[in-house]
C-alpha cells in the first residue's frame, strides 16, 4: 500500500462506520423508547434502557470486531422493541418485563452453548414466525396514517420528507424523518414558549430489581427471544455470509447474550447481530481492503456509545413532541421490516392460511391469561398449520437458525 492510499484505507471504513452507527440509531431509537414504555417503563426508566442497549451494543461491536478482525456489528432488537410496544404491561409490571429481558439474554447465551436449542428454534416455520412479527408491526405502522388524521400540520412534513428520501436517498429516509420531526418539535416548543430543564438531559441509569412471572416469561421473554433470533440474528448471519464473512456464531451469541443480561436491570431489552447496519459496515462502502473493514464496526461502536450517553436528551425529545409525530416516525421506520415480514410469511402458497391466522391473532392485540398476543399468534398459527397439513407429510420450509453458521 502506498503512502497516498494509506489514509483512504483507514478513512473509508471510519466513514462507513459513522454512517452505520447514525443510521442504526436514529432510524429506530423512537421504537425502542416506545417499546420500553409499552411494557411499563416510566420516562426515566425508558431513557435508562435506551442508554443500556446503546452502550452495550456499541461495546459489543468493538469487542467482536477486535476479537475476530471482522466487521461484525451489533444492534438492538428493533423488531423486539416493536413487539414490546404492542404487548402492554404484563402481570408484575415493569419489574416483570426486566425479568423477561434477563430470561431473553440467558436464552441467547444458551443458543450459543447448546446447538440443540438452535435446532428447536429451527422447527418453527418461517411463515408463522414472520406472520407473527408482521402482525405485531401492523399497529405501529398505522402511526403515520393516524398521525396525519389527528395532527396533519405536524405529521405531514415528516411523511413528505420520508417519502422523498425513499425516492432519492433510501438509506437515509428514516434518519431524515427523525430530523424533520426534531425540527417540528423545536418549532412547536418555540411557539409555545416551553423551556427544557437542563437536569433532564443528564444521562442516568435506573436499576430495577427483576420479577419473574409466568406472563413475563411466556408473554415477553419467549416472543422477544424468537423475534430477535428469527428477525435479527439469522438475517445478520445471512448478510455477512453474502458479503463473504463467516460469522463466529458461538462467540456472537455469547457476547450479545451476556450483553443483554447485563443491560436488563437498567432497562435494556435485547442486543443482537445487526442486519442493515452490518451491510453498511461490512460492504464495499467500507473500502476495498477487506482486512480493514473491521475498523468500520469499531467506529460504529464508538459512535453508538456516544449516542447512548445522550439518551436522556432523546428521551426528553420524545416527551416534548406534538401528538402523533413520534408514532409517525416509528411507523415509517418499521414499514420496510413490515413489508419484508409480510412477504416472507406469504411466500409459499401452502403456508399462507396458517400465516394469515398468525398475523390476524398478533394484529388483534388480545391478551389471554395475561399473556400477550404474540405468543397466542404462534400457537394459533402452529395449530392451524398442523391441522391443515394433517396426513400430508412434513414437507415444507422452516426457519433454519443455524444455517450457514460455524459453531465454535
Count of domains forming the chain: 1
Q: Does residue 340 lie in a domain region?
A: yes
Q: Does residue 255 lie in a domain region?
A: yes
pLDDT per position as a tens digit, 133-164:
899 889 889 999 999 999 999 999 999 999 99
Average pLDDT, the chain: 87
The lowest-confidence range among 247-256, 352-361, 395-404 is 395-404
Give the mean pLDDT of 177-191. 91
Contacting residues for 271 by C-beta, under 8 A, at least 6 apart:
53, 56, 57, 60, 74, 75, 76, 77, 256, 259, 260, 263
Q: Does residue 85 lie in a domain region?
A: yes
- Output DSSP code: residue 291: G
Percent share of the chain, pLDDT over 70: 92
Q: Which residue has the higher pLDDT, 199 or 346?
A: 346
With contact defined as beta carbons under 8 Å apart, do 299 and 18 qualify? yes
Per-residue pLDDT at 47: 94
Q: Is the pLDDT of residue 4 over 70?
A: no
Per-residue pLDDT at 278: 81
Give the mean pLDDT of 210-232. 91
Q: Does residue 377 lie in a domain region?
A: no
Q: Does residue 379 lie in a domain region?
A: no
Q: Is the pLDDT of residue 240 over 50?
A: yes
HSE value, Cβ hemisphere, 13 Å, CA-based, for 334: 36
Q: Is the pLDDT of residue 354 over 80?
A: yes
Per-residue pLDDT at 9: 63
pLDDT per position as a tens digit, 244-265:
898 898 999 999 999 999 999 9
Q: Is the pLDDT of residue 211 over 70?
A: yes
Per-residue pLDDT at 315: 86
Identify the helix (H) or strand (E) that includes residue 236: helix 234-242
Residues spanned by the domain of 332: 13-348
Q: Does residue 354 lie in a domain region?
A: no
Per-residue pLDDT at 398: 41
Q: Is the pLDDT of residue 279 over 90?
A: no
Q: Does residue 137 lie in a domain region?
A: yes
Q: How confident is the model at residue 193 (pLDDT cuts 50, 70, 90)?
A: confident
The model carries a pTM of 0.84
- For residue 306, count CB atoms less than 10 angstroms from its CB and return exposed for 0-12, middle for 13-18, buried for 19 or more: middle
Per-residue pLDDT at 77: 92
Per-residue pLDDT at 283: 84
Q: Is the pLDDT of residue 285 over 90?
A: no
Q: How confident is the model at residue 7 (pLDDT cuts 50, 70, 90)?
A: low
With contact defined as beta carbons under 8 Å apart, do 125 and 397 qualify? yes
User: Can you tell me which residue has the cell 447481530?
Assistant: 273
Per-residue pLDDT at 406: 43
pLDDT per position as a tens digit, 371-385:
778 889 989 999 999
Per-residue pLDDT at 393: 54
DSSP-assigned states of every residue in 21-45? HHHHHHTTHHHHHHHHHHTT--HHH
Q: How confident is the model at residue 187 (pLDDT cuts 50, 70, 90)?
A: very high
With contact defined as beta carbons under 8 Å apart, do 40 and 97 qualify? yes
**What's the grid cell of residue 347?**
411466500
Per-residue pLDDT at 399: 42
Residues β-bridged to residue 368: 371
Per-residue pLDDT at 115: 75
Q: How confident is the model at residue 122 (pLDDT cuts 50, 70, 90)?
A: low
Q: Is the pLDDT of residue 94 over 90?
A: yes
pLDDT per position as a tens digit, 10-67:
788 999 899 889 888 988 899 999 999 999 999 999 999 999 999 999 999 999 999 9
| Residue 248, SS3 per DSSP | strand
Q: Is the pLDDT of residue 353 over 90?
A: yes
Q: Does residue 8 lie in a domain region?
A: no
Percent share of the chain, pLDDT over 90: 53
Amino acid at each position: 500500500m502506498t503512502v497516498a492510499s494509506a489514509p483512504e484505507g483507514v478513512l473509508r471504513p471510519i466513514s462507513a462506520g459513522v454512517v452505520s452507527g447514525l443510521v442504526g440509531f436514529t432510524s429506530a431509537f423512537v421504537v425502542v423508547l416506545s417499546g420500553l414504555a409499552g411494557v411499563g417503563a416510566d420516562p426515566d426508566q425508558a431513557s435508562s434502557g435506551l442508554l443500556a442497549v446503546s452502550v452495550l451494543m456499541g461495546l459489543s461491536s468493538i469487542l467482536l470486531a477486535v476479537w475476530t478482525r471482522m466487521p461484525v456489528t451489533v444492534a438492538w432488537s428493533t423488531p423486539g422493541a416493536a413487539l414490546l410496544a404492542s404487548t402492554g404491561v404484563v402481570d408484575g409490571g415493569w419489574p416483570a418485563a426486566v425479568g423477561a429481558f434477563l430470561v431473553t439474554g440467558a436464552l441467547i447465551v444458551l443458543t450459543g452453548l447448546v446447538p440443540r436449542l438452535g435446532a428447536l428454534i429451527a422447527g418453527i416455520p418461517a411463515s408463522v414466525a414472520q406472520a407473527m412479527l408482521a402482525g405485531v408491526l401492523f399497529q405501529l405502522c398505522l402511526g403515520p396514517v393516524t398521525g396525519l388524521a389527528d395532527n396533519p400540520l405536524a405529521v405531514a412534513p415528516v411523511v413528505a420528507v420520508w417519502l422523498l428520501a425513499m425516492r432519492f436517498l433510501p438509506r437515509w429516509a428514516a434518519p431524515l424523518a427523525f430530523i424533520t420531526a426534531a425540527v417540528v418539535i423545536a418549532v412547536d416548543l418555540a411557539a409555545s414558549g416551553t423551556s427544557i430543564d437542563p437536569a433532564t438531559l443528564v444521562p442516568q441509569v435506573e436499576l430495577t430489581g427483576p420479577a419473574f412471572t409466568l406472563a413475563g416469561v411466556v408473554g415477553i421473554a419467549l416472543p422477544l427471544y424468537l423475534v430477535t433470533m428469527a428477525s435479527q440474528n439469522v438475517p445478520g448471519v445471512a448478510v455477512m455470509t453474502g458479503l463473504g464473512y463467516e460469522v463466529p456464531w458461538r462467540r456472537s451469541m455469547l457476547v450479545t447474550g451476556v450483553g443483554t443480561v447485563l443491560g436488563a436491570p437498567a432497562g435494556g431489552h435485547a442486543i443482537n447481530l445487526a442486519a442493515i447496519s452490518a451491510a453498511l459496515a461490512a460492504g464495499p462502502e467500507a473500502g476495498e481492503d477487506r482486512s480493514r473493514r473491521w475498523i468500520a464496526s469499531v467506529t460504529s461502536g464508538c459512535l453508538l456509545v456516544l449516542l447512548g450517553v445522550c439518551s436522556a436528551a432523546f428521551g426528553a425529545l420524545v416527551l416534548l413532541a406534538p401528538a402523533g409525530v413520534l408514532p409517525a416516525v416509528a411507523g415509517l421506520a418499521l414499514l420496510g421490516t413490515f413489508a419484508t415480514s409480510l412477504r416472507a410469511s406469504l411466500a409459499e402458497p401452502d403456508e399462507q392460511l396458517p400465516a394469515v391466522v398468525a398475523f390476524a391473532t398478533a394484529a388483534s392485540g388480545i391478551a389471554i391469561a395475561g399473556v400477550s398476543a404474540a405468543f397466542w399468534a404462534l400457537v394459533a398459527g402452529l395449530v392451524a398449520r398442523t391441522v391443515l397439513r394433517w396426513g400430508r407429510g412434513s414437507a415444507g420450509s422452516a426457519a433454519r437458525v443455524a444455517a450457514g453458521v460455524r459453531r465454535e
